[in-house]
Amino acid sequence: MINDLWYKNSVVYCLSIETFMDANGDGVGDLHGLARRLDYLAGLGITAIWLMPFQTSPGRDDGYDVSDYYNVDPRYGTLGDFVEFTHGAKQRGIRVLIDLVVNHTSDQHPWFQEARRDEGSRFRDWYVWSKQKPANANEGMVFPGVQTSTWTYDKEAKAYYFHRFYDFQPDLDTANPHVQAEILKIMGFWIQLGVSGFRMDAVPFVIAEKGADVKKPRERFEMLRSFREFLQWRKGDSIILAEANVLPETDMDYFGEDDDRMQMMFNFQVNQTLFYALASANCRPLEKALEATRTRPETAQWGLFLRNHDELDLGRLSEGQRSAVFAAFGPDKDMQLYDRGIRRRLAPMLEGNGARIRMAYSLMFSLPGTPVLRYGDEIGMGDDLSLAERNCARTPMQWSTEPQAGFTKSATPILPVITGGAYGFEHINVADQRRNPDSMLNWMERLIRMRKEAPEIGWGDYSCVETGQQGVLAIRYDWRNNSILIVHNLMREPVEAEIDPGIGENGQLLIDIADGSNSKAGKDGKHCVFLEGFGYKWYRIGGLDYLLRRSDI
CB of 440 to ligand GLC, least distance (A): 25
| Among residues 6, 13, 20, 64, the one that binds ligand GLC under rule CB under 6 A | 64
Is 128:162 a contact under the CB 8 Å cutoff? Answer: yes
Q: How many CB atoms lie within 10 A of CB 385?
A: 15
CB of 52 to ligand GLC, least distance (A): 8
Which residue, 203 or 444, is less far from ligand GLC as judged by CB?
203
CB of 201 to ligand GLC, least distance (A): 5
Q: In the stretch 225-244, what mask flags binding to ligand GLC with x, by CB under 6 A? A: ------------------x-
CA-wise closest residue to 46 among 83, 86, 9: 9
The reply to whether 545 belongs to the active site is no
| Among residues 107, 251, 310, 384, the one that binds ligand GLC under rule CB under 6 A | 310
CB of 199 to ligand GLC, least distance (A): 9
Strands (E), 103-243: 129-130, 151-154, 159-162, 197-200, 239-242
30, 107, 201, 311: which is the annotated catalytic residue?
Answer: 201
Strands 336-337 and 341-342: antiparallel
Q: How many helices (H) and strands (E) does the chain have?
A: 17, 24
CA gap 351, 278 in Å, rounded: 12
CA gap 266, 367 in Å, rounded: 13
Task: Please give the size of the binding site for ligand GLC, defined by CB under 6 A.
Answer: 9
Question: Is residue 51 a contact point for ligand GLC (CB under 6 A)?
Answer: no
Question: Is residue 202 a contact point for ligand GLC (CB under 6 A)?
Answer: yes
Which residue, 73 or 456, is less far from ligand GLC as judged by CB?
73
CB of 230 to ligand GLC, least distance (A): 22
CA-wise closest residue to 418 among 383, 378, 390: 383
Q: In the stretch 386-425, what mask flags binding to ligand GLC with x, by CB under 6 A? A: ----------------------------------------
CA gap 553, 425 in Å, rounded: 45
Strands (E), 168-322: 197-200, 239-242, 264-266, 301-304, 312-313
22, 30, 73, 243: which is the annotated catalytic residue?
Answer: 243
| Among residues 61, 173, 311, 384, the one that binds ligand GLC under rule CB under 6 A | 61
| CA-to-CA dists, residue 381 to 18, 197, 332, 414, 527, angstroms | 17, 28, 20, 17, 37
CA gap 480, 238 in Å, rounded: 26
Q: In the stretch 90-119, what mask flags binding to ligand GLC with x, by CB under 6 A? A: -----------x------------------
Which residue, 8 or 394, is less far from ligand GLC as judged by CB?
394
All residues at 6 or more sequence positions from 119 whose CB lies less than 8 Å from its CB, including other chains = 157
Q: In the stretch 160-199, what mask flags binding to ligand GLC with x, by CB under 6 A? A: -----x----------------------------------
CB of 435 to ligand GLC, least distance (A): 35
CB of 219 to ligand GLC, least distance (A): 17
Q: How many CB atoms lie within 10 A of CB 520?
A: 10
The reply to whether 453 belongs to the active site is no
Which residue, 18 or 201, is less far from ligand GLC as judged by CB?
201
Q: How many CB atoms lie within 10 A of CB 394?
A: 23
Which residue, 340 or 452, is less far from ligand GLC as judged by CB?
340
Count of residues in the chain: 553
CA gap 488, 362 in Å, rounded: 8
Which residue, 265 or 521, is less far from ligand GLC as judged by CB?
265
Q: Which residues are catalytic?
A: 201, 243
